[in-house]
């Protein structure tokens, strides 16, 4: 069962006036009531005109008009109170027919509400109203029929009205069964969609765990060996009173950084359960670690912080984490500012620095930017990442809070036709001048 099937079922519901996705809205109920009110007024007008022009109809009088008004009002409220409305209309139309001989026209409102009542699942009241109306109506017509025409009157009226009432009852029951079938189809469609999503998430989780195990088994050991050997070489050089070569120190530093990044990557791959506690509440701790590394960081939060969805909260934290990591790695002597803006419609996060990045020296996008893009756009958000005109780098991510989150495969970086397009990967989420190769 697909989403298209579920949508088609909902369209059928709307076409039949049934609630879709829970109770109908107030405006939808008002529109439905107005339609039935219009139907009641139309039937009332038809009855009044018939009483005025029919040759065998008696004078309406105040009582006749009152009965027509009762019928119209009952039809207007029939969507909410079908059984009560059917009872009122049946009594009113029988009384009108007995008083002024309204004829077959008096059966129209009753037949309509018999169908509605049966369609709403009240089969016994619909059948009972049909029997009562037919019995009283035909008895009255036979009683006042001209001499010698009673049998003919009985056959004509019985065949006509009986066929209409049987058709109304059958149509209501069939409509009720069709409605139940559509509800079952809708439920099955929803369950199938949920099952498919759960299976996809489970497969994705299993694949992440497999990749994490492979990375741990293949890379962690190799990087650890490189780091340890470089450390031993540096130690031995200093023990001999020699200055370790710069390349050796760079290897030692790069090995440590690679181990840290690999651990972070493995934490992410092992799934959300390992990072449930990660969120924007921990941004200050990230900033404190960056300050300890020698980079001043200022954090500002504006707006009333709502209860964020867990995936948005984690993604916002990861954007800040990667941006600060890039500042420490690539910005040179720099200070940074983190601005978190809460509004009812969206969450906006900006990370800016005054480091070495410049629009005049773009770098090709790297892996870090792609990771940041996937996090943000996977939640229906938008990402901007580019060098600032006055120097430094700016990352801004926005996450919608009150709208669907469609997947996307593009990202707004720097601005169309600007140097920021090429420089977008300079440092966003790990992209930098040194990240272009990775």
Kindly list the distances between the CA atom of residue 34 and the CA atoms of 16, 38, 73, 129, 415, in Å, as whole numbers in the listed order.
16, 6, 11, 25, 51
DSSP string covering 51-76, please?
HHH-TT----HHHHHHHHHHHHHHHH
Q: Are residues 188 and 292 in the same domain?
A: no
H helices of 270-398, in order, are: 283-292, 310-330, 367-377
Res 429: pLDDT: 39
CA atoms lying within 13 Å on the CB side of residue 1: 17
Res 63: pLDDT: 83
Give bridge partners of residue 340 from the DSSP assignment: 301, 349
d(CA 297, CA 219): 33
- Does some domain include residue 270? no
Res 249: pLDDT: 80
148, 173, 194: which is the final residue of a domain? 194
d(CA 165, CA 127): 9
Does the CA dihedral 109-115-119-125 come out positive or negative?
A: positive
Q: Are residues 64 and 169 in the same domain?
A: yes
Res 359: pLDDT: 66
d(CA 293, CA 142): 104
H helices of 245-306, in order, are: 246-269, 283-292
Rg (CA), the chain: 38
Q: Are residues 152 and 287 in the same domain?
A: no
User: Is a pLDDT exceeding 50 seen at residue 425?
Assistant: no
- Does some domain include residue 392? yes
User: Is a pLDDT exceeding 70 seen at residue 366?
Assistant: no
d(CA 38, CA 31): 11
Q: How many domains is the chain partitioned into structurally?
A: 2
User: Is a pLDDT exceeding 80 seen at residue 115?
Assistant: yes
Confidence label for 151 from pLDDT (cuts 50, 70 and 90)? low
Res 368: pLDDT: 65
Burial class (CB in 10 A: 0-12, 13-18, 19+), 412: middle
- Asked if residue 359 lies in contact with residue 392, where contact means CB atoms within 8 angstroms, the answer is no
Strands 336-342, 297-302: parallel, antiparallel or unpaired by DSSP?
parallel
> What would the pLDDT profile of 373-394 be if each residue is shown by its tens digit?
888 888 889 999 888 887 888 8
Confidence label for 430 from pLDDT (cuts 50, 70 and 90)? very low
Give bridge partners of residue 299 from the DSSP assignment: 338
Q: Are residues 180 and 285 in the same domain?
A: no
pTM of this structure: 0.43
Q: Are residues 284 and 395 in the same domain?
A: yes
- Does some domain include residue 68? yes
Give bridge partners of residue 369 from the DSSP assignment: none
User: Is a pLDDT exceeding 50 seen at residue 308?
Assistant: yes
Does the CA dihedral 147-153-154-155 come out positive or negative?
A: positive
Q: Residue 338: CB partners within 8 Å, gap ≥ 6?
A: 283, 287, 297, 298, 299, 300, 320, 324, 349, 350, 351
CATH code assigned at 289: 3.30.565.10
d(CA 60, CA 285): 85
d(CA 212, CA 219): 10
d(CA 278, CA 265): 14
- Does some domain include residue 266? no
- Does some domain include residue 235? no
> What would the pLDDT profile of 46-82 be if each residue is shown by its tens digit?
777 776 666 566 677 788 888 888 888 888 888 888 9
d(CA 177, CA 312): 43
- Does some domain include residue 186? yes
Question: What's the whole-number mean pLDDT along residues 210-239?
Answer: 79
Q: Are residues 11 and 124 in the same domain?
A: yes
Question: What's the whole-number mean pLDDT along residues 275-294?
Answer: 79
Give bridge partners of residue 396 from the DSSP assignment: 350, 384
Confidence label for 415 from pLDDT (cuts 50, 70 and 90)? very low
Q: Are residues 290 and 419 in the same domain?
A: yes
- Does some domain include residue 379? yes
d(CA 369, CA 212): 21
Lowest mean pLDDT among 28-37, 186-195, 267-276, 376-385: 267-276
Q: Are residues 166 and 288 in the same domain?
A: no
Does the CA dihedral 46-51-57-63 come out positive or negative?
A: positive
136, 171, 194: which is the final residue of a domain? 194
Strands 382-387, 393-400: parallel, antiparallel or unpaired by DSSP?
antiparallel
Question: What's the whole-number mean pLDDT along residues 198-202?
Answer: 82
Kindly list the distances between the CA atom of residue 150 and the CA atoms of 51, 133, 159, 178, 246, in Å, as whole numbers in the listed order.
22, 18, 14, 41, 120
d(CA 336, CA 351): 7
169, 194, 219: which is the final residue of a domain? 194
Residue 71: closest CA among 102, 29, 31, 30: 102
- Does some domain include residue 249? no
Strands 393-400, 346-353: parallel, antiparallel or unpaired by DSSP?
antiparallel
Q: Are residues 144 and 285 in the same domain?
A: no
3-state secondary structure labels for all residues of 365-380: CCHHHHHHHHHHHCCC
Q: Are residues 34 and 157 in the same domain?
A: yes
Q: Are residues 163 and 304 in the same domain?
A: no
Question: What's the whole-number mean pLDDT along residues 204-225?
Answer: 76
Q: Are residues 290 and 185 in the same domain?
A: no
- 74 is in which domain, residue-wise? 3-194
d(CA 267, CA 212): 8
């Amino acid at each position: 069962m697909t989403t298209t099937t579920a949508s088609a079922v909902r369209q059928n519901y709307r076409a039949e006036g049934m609630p879709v996705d829970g109770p109908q809205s107030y405006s939808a109920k008002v529109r439905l009531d107005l339609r039935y009110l219009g139907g009641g007024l139309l039937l009332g007008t038809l009855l009044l005109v018939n009483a005025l022009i029919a040759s065998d109809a008696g004078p309406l009088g105040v009582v006749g008009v009152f009965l027509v008004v009762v019928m119209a009002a009952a039809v207007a409220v029939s969507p909410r109170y079908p059984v009560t409305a059917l009872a009122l209309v049946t009594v009113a139309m029988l009384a009108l027919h007995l008083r002024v001989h309204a004829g077959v026209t008096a059966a129209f409102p009753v037949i309509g509400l018999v169908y509605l009542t049966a369609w709403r699942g009240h089969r016994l009241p619909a059948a009972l109203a049909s029997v009562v109306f037919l019995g009283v109506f035909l008895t009255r017509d036979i009683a006042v029929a001209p001499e010698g025409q009673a049998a003919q009157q009985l056959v004509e009226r019985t065949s006509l009205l009986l066929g209409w009432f049987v058709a109304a009852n059958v149509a209501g029951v069939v409509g009720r069964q069709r409605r139940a079938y559509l509800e079952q189809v809708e439920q099955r469609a929803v369950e199938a969609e949920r099952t498919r999503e759960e299976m996809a998430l489970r497969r994705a989780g299993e694949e992440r765990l497999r990749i994490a195990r492979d990375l741990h088994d293949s890379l962690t050991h190799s990087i650890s060996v490189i780091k340890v050997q470089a450390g031993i070489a540096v130690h031995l050089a200093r023990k001999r009173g020699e200055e370790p070569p710069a390349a050796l120190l760079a290897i030692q530093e790069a090995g440590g950084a690679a181990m840290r990044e690999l651990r972070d990557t493995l934490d992410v791959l092992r799934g959300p359960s390992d990072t449930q506690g990660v969120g924007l509440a921990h941004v200050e701790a990230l900033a404190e670690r960056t300050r300890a590394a020698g980079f001043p960081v200022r954090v500002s939060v504006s707006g009333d912080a709502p209860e964020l969805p867990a995936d948005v909260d984690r993604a916002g934290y990861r954007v800040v984490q990667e941006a600060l990591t890039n500042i420490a790695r690539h910005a040179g002597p720099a200070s940074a500012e983190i601005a978190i803006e809460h509004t009812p419609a969206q969450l906006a996060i900006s990370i800016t620095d005054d480091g070495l990045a410049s629009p005049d020296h773009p770098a090709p996008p790297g892996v870090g930017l792609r990771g940041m893009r996937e996090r943000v756009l996977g939640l229906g958000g938008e990402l901007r990442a580019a060098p600032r005109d006055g120097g430094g780098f700016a990352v801004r991510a926005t996450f919608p809070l009150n709208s669907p989150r469609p997947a996307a495969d593009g990202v707004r970086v720097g601005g169309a036709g600007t140097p920021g397009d090429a420089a977008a990967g300079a440092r966003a989420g790990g992209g930098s001048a040194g990240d272009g190769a990775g």
